[in-house]
């Protein structure tokens, strides 16, 4: 194991991280900081217009890696969450407001623009001497003695011990490694855009629950808010085909005019939604992090939070590994698969259950949902446990 410099020609390394999204960037930084000699494959990708609510434990992971110094300088604190049952169902939940002060935190987390995180993390990663970034895709993956040979889109080949697949939902690494998923494609998509409201949200995220999914305004600083609107696939296709004024009118109507006259600050972008979990998180020197390993609808802001816990879990396994052994990477992938299984399962089940319960029009489900919100409103200990569950393990 040696810390090599950026000047050396790179055809071998300890670890290749495949994918330049947020999970890949953080994984590249974390494995390099754990002492591995890392190559990061980050091909040019379209700009990510989403924002991510990252909870306090996730922000701590980023702070420990030196990627975020002051979260208030990069994002907007999420201090309160308001839930409004906007359905016309027979049994409706009461309106509820949850405050992070109850769990002695200044905020549940922060809302960060993905593009701003990407820029900040990339600058940090550039400065690491044992990390090399290449603007190339992985196109081939072959097992070789005590490791893997990766073929790149620019014609190069790299031999490595550990491969970190952070290449998103349609992961090449996952497929090449023969790791299967059982994907459910949902009948809903998510529309995302930035809005200007007539007044600031002051750290309060407002979530309307409609029959086809939540319509959530997340504070983005000043009078700005990020909208995540989950709706039927066909309905969102109809809406995005409209002129900007008509799109805004549809959003205005769904917001129940509670925020005054709205302005559209960015074009509306739609993301198809699906759920899956990889049948293993790692094997034979290959590990999966982020959406290559798990995906679910953006309910309760869990996706990237879970991905950051993947990276923290991977670093824990690398730190415990005996890196002088020729098969250290196989050991890391096996240990990683073991340590990440329960958290991924638990989060997937929690989000899946919540999503189903929000969509179900059946009377028992309505009663359960309304009773659940009522109990959370009335019972502080239950509320605190729910907050801790939603914020994820520390």
Ligand X SMILES: Cc1cc2nc3c(=O)[nH]c(=O)nc-3n(C[C@H](O)[C@H](O)[C@H](O)COP(=O)(O)OP(=O)(O)OC[C@H]3O[C@@H](n4cnc5c(N)ncnc54)[C@H](O)[C@@H]3O)c2cc1C
Among 138, 177, 206, 220, binds ligand X (CB under 6 A): 138
| CB of 219 closer than 8 Å to CB of 203 | yes
Whose CA is closest to 307, among 61, 56, 41? 61
167 or 321, CB closer to ligand X?
Answer: 167
Considering only 214, 219, 282, 298, the residue that binds ligand X (CB under 6 A) is: 298
Q: Does 302 bind ligand X (CB under 6 A)?
A: yes
Does residue 214 touch ligand X according to CB under 6 A?
A: no
Candidate segments 51-59, 71-79, 198-206, 247-255, binder of ligand X by CB under 6 A: 51-59
Nearest approach in angstroms of CB 229 to ligand X is: 9
Q: Is 220 in the site for ligand X (CB under 6 A)?
A: no
Number of residues near ligand X (by CB under 6 A): 33
CA distances in angstroms from 133 to 57, 71, 157, 168, 172, listed in the order given: 28, 26, 14, 18, 18
- Pick the binder of ligand X from 15, 28, 34, 53 (CB under 6 A): 53
By the rule CB under 6 A, 305 interacts with ligand X = yes
* Site membership for ligand X, residue 29 (CB under 6 A): no
Q: Can you name the residues that pair with 38 across neighbouring β-strands?
A: 15, 131
C-alpha span between 253 and 314 (Å, rounded): 45
286 binds ligand X (CB under 6 A): no
Nearer to ligand X, 41 or 162 (CB): 41
- 168 lies in the binding site for ligand X (CB under 6 A): yes
User: Binding to ligand X by residue 23, rule CB under 6 A?
Assistant: yes
Report the residue number, 34 or 289, with the smaller CB distance to ligand X: 289
Integer Cα distance of 271 and 352 in angstroms: 17
User: What's the min distance (Å) between Cβ of 170 and ligand X?
Assistant: 7
- Interface stretch with ligand X, choices 68-76, 78-86, 116-124, 161-169 (CB under 6 A): 161-169
Asked if 77 touches ligand X (CB under 6 A), the answer is no
Spatial contact of 344 and 306, defined as CB atoms under 8 Å apart: yes
Long-range own/partner contacts, residues 342-347 (CB < 8 A, 24 or more apart)? 343/306, 343/309, 343/313, 343/393, 344/277, 344/281, 344/293, 344/294, 344/306, 344/310, 345/277, 347/294, 347/296, 347/302, 347/306, 347/392
Largest CA distance in the chain: 68
* 24 lies in the site for ligand X, by CB under 6 A: yes
Each residue 236-265 as x (binds ligand X by CB under 6 A) or -, in order, gives ------------------------------
The distance of Cα 385 from the centroid of its chain, to the nearest Å, equals 22
Nearer to ligand X, 26 or 34 (CB): 26
| C-alpha torsion 318→320→325→329, nearest 10 | -30
Nearest distance in Å: CB 33, ligand X:
18
With the C-alpha atoms ordered 376, 381, 382, 388, is the resulting torsion angle positive or negative? positive
User: What is the total residue count of the chain?
Assistant: 394
Residue with smaller CB distance to ligand X, 214 or 303: 303
Q: Which two tokens stand for residue 349?
A: 């089940």
- Does 115 contact ligand X by CB under 6 A? no
- 300 within 8 A of 354, measured Cβ to Cβ: yes
In the complex, the residues that contact ligand X under the rule CB under 6 A are 18-24, 41, 43, 45, 50, 52-54, 137-138, 166-168, 172, 190, 192, 228, 271, 290-291, 298, 301-305, 307
């Amino acid at each position: 194991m040696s810390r090599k410099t950026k000047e050396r020609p790179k055809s071998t390394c300890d670890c290749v991280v495949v994918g330049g999204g947020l999970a890949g960037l953080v994984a590249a930084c974390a494995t390099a900081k754990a002492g591995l000699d890392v190559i990061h494959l980050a091909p040019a990708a379209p700009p990510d217009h989403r924002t991510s609510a990252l909870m306090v434990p996730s922000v701590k992971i980023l702070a420990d890696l030196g990627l975020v110094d002051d979260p208030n300088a990069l994002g907007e604190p999420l201090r309160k969450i308001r839930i409004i049952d906007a359905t016309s169902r027979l049994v409706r939940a009461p309106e509820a407001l949850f405050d992070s002060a109850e769990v002695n935190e200044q905020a549940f987390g922060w809302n960060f623009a993905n593009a701003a995180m990407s820029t900040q993390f990339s600058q940090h990663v550039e400065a690491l001497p044992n990390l090399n970034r290449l603007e190339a895709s992985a196109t081939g993956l072959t097992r070789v003695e005590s490791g893997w040979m990766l073929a790149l889109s620019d014609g190069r080949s790299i031999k490595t011990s550990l491969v970190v697949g952070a290449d998103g939902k349609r992961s090449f690494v996952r497929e090449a490694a023969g790791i299967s998923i059982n994907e459910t494609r949902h009948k809903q998509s998510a529309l995302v855009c930035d809005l200007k409201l007539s007044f600031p949200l002051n750290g309060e995220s407002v979530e309307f629950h409609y029959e086809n999914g939540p319509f959530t305004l997340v504070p983005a600083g000043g009078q700005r808010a990020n909208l995540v609107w989950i709706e039927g696939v066909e309905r969102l296709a109809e809406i995005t085909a409209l002129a900007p004024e008509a799109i805004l009118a549809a959003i205005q109507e769904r917001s129940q005019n509670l925020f005054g006259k709205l302005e559209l600050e960015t074009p509306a972008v739609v993301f198809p939604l699906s759920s899956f979990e990889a049948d293993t998180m790692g094997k034979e020197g290959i590990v999966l992090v982020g959406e290559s390993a798990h995906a679910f609808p953006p309910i309760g802001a869990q996706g990237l939070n879970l991905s950051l816990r993947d990276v923290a879990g991977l670093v824990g396994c690398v730190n415990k590994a005996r890196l002088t052994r020729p098969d250290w990477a196989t050991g890391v992938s096996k240990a990683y698969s073991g340590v990440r299984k329960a958290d991924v399962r638990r989060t997937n089940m929690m989000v899946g259950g919540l999503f189903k319960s929000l969509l179900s029009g059946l009377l028992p489900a309505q009663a359960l949902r309304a009773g659940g919100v009522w109990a959370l409103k009335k019972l502080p200990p239950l509320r605190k446990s729910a907050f801790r569950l939603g914020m994820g393990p520390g």
